Amino acid sequence: MQSHSEGNALLESGWWCLDFNITSDHCRWPGITCNQLGAVVEISPPLYCTDKSSIRNLNFSYFPNLIRLVLDGNGVTRSIPHEIGNLSPLVLLNLSYNHLLDQIPSALGLLTNLTHLDLTHNSIFGPIPSTIGLLANLKKFSLADNPTYGYIPPEIGNLKNLHYLDTSRNQLIGEIPSFLSNLIQLESLRLHENQINGSIPNKIGNSRSLSFLSISRNQLMGPLPSSLDNLTKFGEIPSTIGNLRQLNIMDLSYNNLSGQIPDSVACLPSRPLIIVNDNSLLAKIHQCSSSSPDQLSGNDNSTCHGECFRPHKANVVLHYMEICIPVGMFLVFSILGFLFLSRKASFLQHEDKALKNGDVFSMWNYDGKIAFENIIEATQDFDFRYCIGTGGYGSVYRAQLPGGKVVALKKLHGLEAEEPTFDKCFKNEVKMLTGIRHKNIVKLHGFCLHKRSMLLVYEYVERGSLFCMLRNDDEAVELDWAKRISILRVIANALSYIHEYSLPIVHRDISSNIILLNSEMEGFLSGF
C-alpha cells in the first residue's frame, strides 16, 4: 500500500514526463532509488521533465525513508515548504540552481541527519534561520548566489562537523563572526561579495584545517586584534592567519585593508596564492625557502626578498645599520662569486635547479605541491602516447600522479609560452578559473609555471568529448535522446553560470569537442 502511495505521489509531482515509459514499478523510474523493501530512498528526477515545477507538488509525507533529495538544476519554483522537516532520515538535500523564493524555513533544523545542504543560486531571501545550528552532522552548507540578508547566526558555530561553508554573493552584513573559529574541521570558508565590515578576527587562526579562505569584495577594514599590541597600523592583516598551515588560497581583494602582509603568511610551507587586488597592503616577503613573488596577485605595493618597514625615530640609526651592513656584505660576496664562477657553470646550475623544482607549482585539494619531475615521469616527458587532445593553445595529456590520482594536463604550446606578455595572461587565467565553482564545469586542480612549460592541471573526465562519442557508432548508441537532452541542459546551466559570474566570462568556443562526459554520461564544460 505504501509503495502504491509513493508511486502516485511521484506522478503528482509532475517531475516525470507523461510521454516517458513509466512502468507500474516506480522503483525502476529514472532518478528513483529504493531500498530492499521497495521504499523510496532517493529522488533525483530527470532534468528534462521538471522545468518550472513547484517543489510543493511533492507530498513529503509519503516518503518517510527518503535519504537523498536531489533537485539541482531542475527549474523548481516557489518556496521550500515547512513539511520538508518531516523527512527526518534525510542526509542530502540539493536544491541548487533553481528558482526558489521566500525564506529558508526554520523546519530545516529538524533534519538532524543532514550532512549536505546546498541552496546555491536561487532567489531565497531573508535571514539565515538560527535552527541551522541544530544540524550537528552537517558537513557542507552552501547558500551562494542568493539575496539572503542579515547576520551570520551565532548558532552556526555549533556545527562542529562542518567542512565547507559558502555564503558568498549574498547581502550579509556585520563582522566576520569570531565563533567561526569553533569550526575546527572547516576547510573552505567563502564569504566574498557581501556587505561584511570590521576587521578580520584574531581567532580565525584557530581554524587549523582551513585551506581556502575567500573574503573579497566586502567592506573589511577596522583595527588590528588586541593581541597584536606591538603593531599599530590601522586595518592590517592579523599575523595569526599564519597559523593556517594548510592554507592554499587567500582572497582579500576589493576591501579597504591596509598595512602589511605578515611574515607568517609569506613563509607558510603551503606557499598560498594571496590575492589582494584593490587594497593598500604592503607586502613583505623574506627569503623563505618556499616563498615566491608569484604568491602575490594584484597588489602594486608588494616587494620581495627584503624587509619593508617604517622605523620609529629612536631607532633610525639601528635600522640603517641593520640594512646597510648585510647589503654591503652581500654585494661584496656577490661580486667575488661572479668573478670566480664561470658564466657557463652558473647557467647550467640554474637550468638544473629550474628543471628539478620548477618556478611555481601549486596543487589544491589533495597533495599540496607536486614537483615538475613527477609530471615528466607521469607522461614520460609528454610522450605522444599520453596525449588525449590538441587545441589552438596547447595539448592535453592524461597523467597518473604518484598518489594514484588521474588528472588532465593542459600543456600550452611553446611559441605561446615564449611571448613576453603570456606569463601575465597565464596568471590572470589561473586567477579567474580558481573562482569558478560549478559542478558541471571541469575543475581546475592547480597550475605550473616552469622554464620549459606552462601547465594547467584539470580534473580528468573519463569518457572524453561528446564529439568523439557521437562519431563512434557503438558508443553513440549509449546516448539516447533522454541523455542528450540532459547533457544540453547541464551545459546550458554551466554557460548561464559563467555569463552571470561576478566577472562575466564568454567562452567563444562552444562545440561538442569541449563538452566532456564522465562514466555516468554527465556533461562537463571545458576548454577554458
Pairing between strand 195-198 and 68-70?
unpaired
Average pLDDT, the chain: 73
Please check whether residue 66 is in contact with residue 41, taking contact to mean a CB–CB distance below 8 angstroms. Answer: yes
Helix (H) or strand (E) holding 353: helix 343-357
CA 447 to centroid of chain Cα atoms: 14
Average pLDDT estimate for 238-264: 57
* pLDDT value of residue 287: 40
Q: Alpha-carbon dihedral of residues 300, 305, 307, 308, nearest 10 degrees?
A: -10
Query: What does the buried/exposed string (b/e) look like for 438-461 if buried means 16 or more CB atoms within 10 Å of the residue's CB?
Result: bbbbbbbbbbbbbebbbbbbbbbb
Q: What would the DSSP string read from start to end of 425-484?
A: HHHHHHHHHHT---TTBPPEEEEEE-SS-EEEEEE--TT-BHHHHHHSHHHHTT--HHHH
Pairing between strand 394-400 and 406-412?
antiparallel
Per DSSP, the three-state class of 265 is: helix
Average pLDDT estimate for 423-437: 67
Catalytic residue among 51, 352, 480, 509, which?
509
More confident residue, 207 or 488: 488
Per DSSP, the three-state class of 272 is: coil
* pLDDT value of residue 170: 93
* Residue 83 burial class via C-beta count within 10 angstroms: exposed 0-12, middle 13-18, buried 19 and up: middle
Question: Could you tell me which residues come within 8 angstroms of residue 15 by beta carbon, excluding any fewer than 6 positions away?
Answer: 31, 45, 46, 49, 50, 53, 57, 58, 74
* pLDDT value of residue 313: 35
Residue 71 has a CB neighbour count (10 Å cut-off) of 25
Question: Binding site annotation covers 411?
Answer: no
Please check whether residue 247 is in contact with residue 295, taking contact to mean a CB–CB distance below 8 angstroms. Answer: no
pLDDT tier at 115, thresholds 50, 70, 90: very high
pLDDT tens across 437-480, in order? 788 888 887 777 665 567 788 888 888 888 888 877 778 888 88
Please check whether residue 128 is in contact with residue 150, taking contact to mean a CB–CB distance below 8 angstroms. Answer: yes
Instruction: Choose the weakest-confidence range: 64-68, 106-110, 244-248.
Output: 244-248
pLDDT tier at 196, thresholds 50, 70, 90: very high
Per DSSP, the three-state class of 131 is: helix
pLDDT tens across 66-108, in order? 999 998 877 788 899 999 999 999 999 999 888 898 899 999 9
Q: How far, in Å, CA of 246 to CA of 163, rounded?
A: 14
Domains, the chain, in order of start with CATH, read 1-285 (3.80.10.10), 369-459 (3.30.200.20), 464-525 (1.10.510.10)
Instruction: Choose the weakest-confidence range: 120-134, 293-307, 326-340.
Output: 293-307
pLDDT tens across 136-178, in order? 999 999 999 999 999 999 999 999 999 999 999 999 999 988 8
* pLDDT value of residue 152: 94
Q: Both ends of the chain: CA-CA distance in Å?
A: 52
Per DSSP, the three-state class of 423 is: helix
Helix (H) or strand (E) holding 190: strand 188-190
Clarify whether 509 is annotated catalytic: yes
